[in-house]
Amino acid sequence: MHKNEIYNVQSEKVLFQACFWSIYFISWQLKEWTPQVSHVAKILLDYGKYSPADVPAVSVHFENMRDNWKDKMQDLTNLVDSATDTAKFIEACGM
């Protein structure tokens, strides 16, 4: 193997590891955040029934949490898509 080939293999390995750990970390964040977003949504529904004056504050909190969750989910989707060889994936699915 030439130096360039060794460097390329090592570079790919580092990129793969970085992608793997990014996927792992974002997955962990989403696992932690999902019940919280769900709970705030339930509170929003409950406050809407009994105390309409408090809904704007709860609503803003819910929207912020939901938007953060959606952004992280999009980040995760992009990372998984970039780590997946589309042609090999389609071939493995038998399409």
Q: Is residue 67 part of a domain?
A: yes
Phi, psi of 51 (to 5 degrees): -145, 75
Show the tokens assigned to 87: 């042609």
Q: Is residue 48 part of a domain?
A: yes
Higher pLDDT, 31 or 59: 31
**What residues make up the domain containing 43?**
22-93
53-89 residue pLDDT tens: 666 778 888 899 999 999 999 999 999 988 888 888 7
Closest listed residue to residue 79, CA positions, set 25, 15, 28, 23:
23
Q: What percent of the chain has pLDDT over 70?
A: 78
Flag whether the pTM goes above 0.85.
Answer: no
C-alpha 27/C-alpha 44 separation (Å) is: 25
C-alpha 57/C-alpha 44 separation (Å) is: 9
Show the tokens assigned to 17: 């590891």
Show the tokens assigned to 47: 């406050």
Q: Is residue 68 part of a domain?
A: yes
What's the number of domains the chain is made of?
Answer: 1
Q: Residue 32: its pLDDT value, please?
A: 96
